[in-house]
């Protein structure tokens, strides 16, 4: 299929899908509508049968973009969660956590800490942290929307500033330039302190937990969750696939399989990245992680976790072989909705990026001579990267598109200015993470919903105001950095803007709460 440069129309399908999803709160039909609009635009521009050609194009794109390894990993992780749940391990872990983590703050801080610790890969982060922390947050009456937000906010943001992660060398591979003597990996390291969105996303989560307040749709979700619990109704309860009177698993029955999953995934990433190959150029763990095959490594990790569970449960008669397999199949089936959403999102992204050439249109905006001053380039790169990432639903694809453009513009206009290059590149990476963080068609957003069993549209609608707030804080920092070039001043200014904004919002929320209480009385 020959691509067609659709200009601004290339962004219409994802924008329509996002608007429809937020309006109807139904993600499947919204994604299908976005795909249909995209293939109709492509068919109109390329010519063809409007009855058969759209279906043919959609199927071809789905076949080309479908990531079977990620789908298999999701199914295997669902199986692992189900068999662990049936063993009684999750229930015992929840009982232990309720005794140790007796406050909301402790539960939320523990979730954030675990999300930061698992910095190897964002997919792995979303699904693992959700599985482990659901019993804890449920016991403290924390809504699934809040849990999904914290997990999503410690997935991509921590991966993009971690030197040892699947993201590190994925970014470094795009940082090849002759304008500066530093290696691509050293350029990535130098960009980390300037990645304001990732840094202040983590700060925002910390402050929201410490101040113990929410605003906007998240506050309404929390109040709704509390009201449901007060009415003695069951909310967000994971299905118990085991018989509580017969199953007597303990905490090791959850910790050992999950530890095997984590350790095996890390070892598999080192192996697939060439860490132990004689004569291989990738001698460091950091480079091996970035050069690895994360999807295949995740599959190996999930299989190791399942095998560990099998050899722990069957000999001790926690479950029979038939029940083990039945629960494994049931768990894989529970992940089917998330896999379908991923399939539709991949198809929409492929149509937008490859058939309608949205990256070409976005690239023309940044490479055109539009009279933009050099001082505004970091802020412009942040906004542009955020818009593109939000539209196509991928941070990796966005910085893969924009970084070569940014470098070519830099080499022509600002040769030799390494510090300014780091500022602009960091703004591009930060904008990519921002768009990925709040896009409803982003893989990370979808997996955060799946890992916490949270309604996907509810997760998107409650998280988006928080993401936009952090983006505004980051944008203010890039505006100052463009004019001053000072890292210290920019970080201090961002922190001041965030604190002032949060305290103003908190005061307004308290005032509105008091007014609502007075009206009720």
The DSSP string of 380-394 is HHHHHHHHHHHHHT-
489 close to 194: Cβ distance less than 8 angstroms: no
pLDDT at 99 over 90: no
The pLDDT value recorded for residue 6 is 77
Cα(470)–Cα(476) distance, rounded to whole angstroms? 10
Spell out the residues 6+ positions from residue 367 whose beta carbon is closer than 8 angstroms to its own: 405, 408, 409
More confident residue, 176 or 357: 357
C-beta separation of 176 from 183 below 8 A: no
Residue with tokens 């849990």: 147
Angle subtended by helix axes 68-87 and 122-139, to nearest 10: 30
pLDDT score at 478: 94
- What pLDDT was estimated at residue 197? 94
What is the rounded distance in angstroms from the CA atom of residue 63 to the CA atom of residue 14? Answer: 19
Please give the residue that has the higher pLDDT: either 426 or 53: 426
Structure tokens, 482 = 């463009």
Q: What is the mean pLDDT of the chain?
A: 79
The whole-angstrom separation of Cα 139 and Cα 149 is 18
- The pLDDT confidence band at residue 238, using thresholds 50, 70 and 90, is very low
Segment 86-111 mean pLDDT: 78
In angstroms, rounded to a whole number, what is the distance separating the alpha carbons of residues 426 and 420?
Answer: 10
Contact 463, 149 (CB under 8 A): yes
In three-state secondary structure terms, 510 is helix
In angstroms, how far is the first alpha carbon of the chain from the final one? 66
Averaged over 39-65, what is the pLDDT?
Answer: 82
Question: pLDDT tens digit string along 114-158?
Answer: 888 777 667 767 777 887 788 888 878 888 899 999 999 988 888
Q: In sequence order, which residues have a C-beta less than 8 Å from that of residue 337 and are 6 or more positions away?
A: 450
Q: What is the pLDDT of residue 431?
A: 92
pLDDT in tens, 196-237: 999 999 999 999 999 888 888 998 888 888 777 666 444 444
Q: What is d(CA 513, CA 413) in angstroms, rounded to the nearest whole number?
A: 53
What distance in Å separates the CA atoms of residue 219 and residue 395, rounded to the nearest whole number?
28
Q: What is the mean pLDDT of residues 284-288?
A: 68
pLDDT of residue 290: 60
d(CA 166, CA 124): 11
Classify residue 355 by its DSSP letter. I
Nearest-angstrom CA–CA distance, 477 and 313: 53
DSSP annotation of 352? I
Closest CA to 433 of 425, 450, 250, 216: 425
Asked if residues 442 and 341 have their Cβ atoms less than 8 Å apart, the reply is no
Residue in the structure block whose two tokens are 């130098």? 190
pLDDT at 244: 44
* Torsion sign, CA atoms 93, 96, 99, 100: negative
- pLDDT for res 237: 44
Torsion of CA 212, 216, 221, 226, to 10 degrees: 50
Mean pLDDT across 465-469? 94
Nearest-angstrom CA–CA distance, 172 and 163 = 10
């Amino acid at each position: 299929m020959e691509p067609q440069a659709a200009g601004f129309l290339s962004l219409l399908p994802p924008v329509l899908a996002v608007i429809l999803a937020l309006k109807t709160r139904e993600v499947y039909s919204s994604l299908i509508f976005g795909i249909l609009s995209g293939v109709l635009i492509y068919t109109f521009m390329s010519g063809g049968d409007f009855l058969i050609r759209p279906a043919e194009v959609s199927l071809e794109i789905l076949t080309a973009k479908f990531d079977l390894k990620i789908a298999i990993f999701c199914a295997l992780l669902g199986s692992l969660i189900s068999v662990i749940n049936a063993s009684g391990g999750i229930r015992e872990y929840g009982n232990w956590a309720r005794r140790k983590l007796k406050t909301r703050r402790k539960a939320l801080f523990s979730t954030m800490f675990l999300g930061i610790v698992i910095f190897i890969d964002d997919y792995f982060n979303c699904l693992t942290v959700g599985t482990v922390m659901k019993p804890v947050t449920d016991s403290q009456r924390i809504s699934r929307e809040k849990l999904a937000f914290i997990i999503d906010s410690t997935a991509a943001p921590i991966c993009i500033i971690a030197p040892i992660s699947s993201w590190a060398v994925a970014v470094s591979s795009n940082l090849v330039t002759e304008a500066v003597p530093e290696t691509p990996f050293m350029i990535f390291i130098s960009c980390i302190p300037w990645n304001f969105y990732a840094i202040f996303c983590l700060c925002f989560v910390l402050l929201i937990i410490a101040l113990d307040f929410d605003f906007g749709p998240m506050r309404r979700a929390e109040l709704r969750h509390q009201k449901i619990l007060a009415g003695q109704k069951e909310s967000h309860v994971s299905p118990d696939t085991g018989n509580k009177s017969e199953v007597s698993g303990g905490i090791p029955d959850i910790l050992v399989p999950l530890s095997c999953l984590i350790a095996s995934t890390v070892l598999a990433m080192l192996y697939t990245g060439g860490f132990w190959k004689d004569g291989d150029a990738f001698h460091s763990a950091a480079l091996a992680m970035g050069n690895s095959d994360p999807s295949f490594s995740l599959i190996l990790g999930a299989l190791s976790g399942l095998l560990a569970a099998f050899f722990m449960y069957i000999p001790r008669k926690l479950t029979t072989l038939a029940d083990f397999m039945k629960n494994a199949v049931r768990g894989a089936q529970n992940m089917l909705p998330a896999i379908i959403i991923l399939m539709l999102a991949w198809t929409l992204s492929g149509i937008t990026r490859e058939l309608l050439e949205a990256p070409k249109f976005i690239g023309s905006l940044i490479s055109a001579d539009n009279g933009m001053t050099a001082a505004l380039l970091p802020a412009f790169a942040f906004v542009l990267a955020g818009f593109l990432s939000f539209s196509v639903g991928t941070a990796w694809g966005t910085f893969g598109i924009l970084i070569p453009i940014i470098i070519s513009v830099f080499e022509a206009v600002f040769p030799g200015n390494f510090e300014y290059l780091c500022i602009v590149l960091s703004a591009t990476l930060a904008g990519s993470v921002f768009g990925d963080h709040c896009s409803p068609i982003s893989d990370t957003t979808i997996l955060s919903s799946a890992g916490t069993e949270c309604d996907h549209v509810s997760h998107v609608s409650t998280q988006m105001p928080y993401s936009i707030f952090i983006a505004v804080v980051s944008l203010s920092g890039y505006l100052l950095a463009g004019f001053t070039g000072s890292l210290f001043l920019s970080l201090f200014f961002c922190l001041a803007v965030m604190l002032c904004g949060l305290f103003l919002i908190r005061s307004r929320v308290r005032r509105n709460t008091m007014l609502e209480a007075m009206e009720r009385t």
